[in-house]
Structure 1
């Protein structure tokens, strides 16, 4: 009888731990994928601390658009599609897609529905107002689409 009670208590503790971990999973810092598929923490609090340290050193305020890198290329997901539909960047540039619709959006590499042409570009679903990012390190032409609305497509040209 005691072993059954002990087993029950252990099971409850394990389930409680799984529940707590799954709730905290949503609180992880956002990440930016690099072209090699490596995920790099994109912690805004770290960026803010770095900006404050720079401001203290130089006495000048550091201005960054939306907390993103100033040189990042931006693509808006709209009801009509990706704007701009084609973006040209230099190797090593971060591209940021922002969902400016009222529905869940998705960025996936060509070709629909398999997304096998360039897997690092399979950035997945993101909600209205959210952003997904990818650093393009190698030259080439990278085609993508919104898997949830495959008539929306775009291209990143890396020079």
Structure 2
């Protein structure tokens, strides 16, 4: 879990050797974070940034590995 303030840009960077796809929960709808593009696949070395404009608690997962808890997290926006 990470806590940030409204207007903060968060960046996901793929430091792995395989592709990942950051996606908003719930799987497979991926629609709980308004404006977040859950269709972007990150190849090794790629990054994806998103600015959280609304307060709330948002969960995300790796759409390519949705059951792997290593690739799940929560963003709290205050």
TM-score range, shorter chain: 0.7 to 0.9
1:5-154 alignment runs, 5 A limit: 86-121=1-36, 122=38, 124-150=40-66, 151=68, 152-154=71-73
Taking the aligned partners of 1:123 and 1:132, their CA distance within structure 2 comes to 11
Q: CA deviation at 1:123?
A: 5.3
1:91 is paired with a residue of what secondary structure?
Answer: coil
**Higher RCO (CA-CA < 8 Å; seq separation 6+):** 2
Unaligned runs of 5+ in 1: 1-85
- The structure in which a higher percent of residues are helix is 1
Give the greater-gyration-radius structure (CA). 1
Taking the aligned partners of 1:91 and 1:119, their CA distance within structure 2 comes to 14
**Number of aligned residues:** 74
Taking the aligned partners of 1:90 and 1:143, their CA distance within structure 2 comes to 16
**TM-score scaled by structure 1?**
0.44
Q: CA deviation at 1:120?
A: 2.3
Q: Residues 105 and 143 of structure 1: is their aligned pair in 2 closer, same or farther, counting only changes over 3 Å?
A: same
Root-mean-square deviation (CA, aligned residues, Å) is 1.2
Taking the aligned partners of 1:135 and 1:149, their CA distance within structure 2 comes to 24
